[in-house]
Structures are given as C-alpha cells and as structure tokens.
Amino acid sequence: MTRFLSDKNILDTIGRDSEAGFRMLLKDYKEAVYWHIRRITVAHHDAEDALQETFIRVFKNIDKFKKDMPLAAWIFRIATNEAIRQCQRHKKVAFSLDDEAQTEDAGRMIADEYFDYSDLEAVKLQKAIHKLPPKQQLAFNLRYYDEFDYATIARISDTSAASAKANYHAAKEKIIHYMNTHD
C-alpha cells in the first residue's frame, strides 16, 4: 500500500483541526481502502457504501484508536468488517471470517456495471480468489495487493502472523492450481 503521510502527521493534525486532519487521512487512505473493500464486495455500490461507513466509524472513534497498532491496520480492520456487513446486508455470499466454508462461485461479478470483462486473465484471477475460504482470501488480498507484512495482516484479521503467512501461501497454491486447470 502506497502511503504519503505518516500516522503521526495525520493524528497530530486531527488533534489540532479535526476536519483538516480527517481530510488528510481520507486522501491517504481512501483509494487503498476502497480497493480492499471492493475485492470483498465485488459490486461497486456496495463498496462505496462500506467505504463511507468505514470512514464515518473512523471519524467517530479516532479518539479511541490505541496506538499499539499501525493506523492502517485499524482502518483496514474496520473496512473489512464493514465490507462483510455490507455483503450480509444484501444476503450475498457470506464472507465471514468465522466461516471456514468455501465461498460460492464469484457469479455475482456478472451483475456489476463497473466491471471490465475484457481482461479474461484478471477476471479469472478474481474468480479464483473468491473460491478461497474467507481467511485465505483476506490474507492473500492484504499481502498480494496491499503488500502488508504478516504482522499487520494478523492485526487486521485477528489472527497470528504465522497463521496469516500459512493462509497466504495456501491461497497462492490454490490460485495457481485454479488458474492452471480452468479455462
């Protein structure tokens, strides 16, 4: 995840001027958080709703943020929960971190208007990711796309770093197998 500002800089600014600081935080995080949510919800409108709820929660609870974890981990943890809540609200495939069952086929990709079908390899990769169990899906996305280290992934997904690493490698193997065996 590409960042331009330090957590300290953002938090100090929020302490002095909440709106200015919050705008700094939004500028630094909104795109990465959106894409993280979008990889879970798939549909753009659901991702937008979850994105808004995420930052409103961040805004309301920033004074409760304990600096024992990176700000990014705290925000991505809230975003993950909001994305899951959004999926459940629309009775979509339940992406629950407590649910070890495999998620359904990523057929819901078909309905979204903000979806590019022209790159077949990219579509197939997303389908492969959505075939994974939720914890592997989350670990893979956070490592592969956002480039978080395993300790941060562990904070976001409420697991251990070793477990996050195992989930990522298991996910990678399954994706390679899927990509090599499906047209």
Partner 1 sequence: MSDFNFDKTGKKMPYRVPDNFFDDVENKIIANAHSRQRRHRGLTLAFRLTAVAATLAILLAVGSHSMSSHKTDFIEILQAFDNLSDADQTYLLEIYQDDIFMHE
- Interface with partner 1 (CB under 8 A): 19, 22-23, 26-27, 30-31, 34-35, 38-39, 42, 44, 48, 51-52, 55-56, 59-61, 109, 114-117, 119, 121-123, 125-126, 144-145, 172, 175-176, 179-181
Residue 53 or 156 having the CB closest to partner 1: 53
Find the shortest distance in angstroms from Cβ 139 to partner 1: 15
Q: What is d(CA 44, CA 26) in angstroms, rounded to the nearest whole number?
A: 18
Cα angle: 85, vertex 89, 94; to 5 degrees: 65
Find the shortest distance in angstroms from Cβ 36 to partner 1: 11
Residue 51 or 156 having the CB closest to partner 1: 51
Find the shortest distance in angstroms from Cβ 131 to partner 1: 14
Find the shortest distance in angstroms from Cβ 118 to partner 1: 8
Nearest to 163 by CA among 173, 176, 151, 178: 151
Given CA atoms 123, 113, 142, 128 in this order, what sign does their dihedral have? negative
Find the shortest distance in angstroms from Cβ 100 to partner 1: 25
Residue 165 or 172 having the CB closest to partner 1: 172
Q: Whose structure tokens read 């490698």?
A: 169
What angle, 0 to 180 degrees and rounded to 10, lies between the N-to-C axes of helices 18-41 and 71-89? 50
**102 φ, ψ to 5°?**
-70, 140
Residue 39 or 155 having the CB closest to partner 1: 39
Residue 11 or 99 having the CB closest to partner 1: 11
How far CA 56 is from CA of 12, 92, 94, in Å, comes to: 19, 23, 23
Q: Which residues contact 122 (CB under 8 A, 6 or more apart)?
A: 116
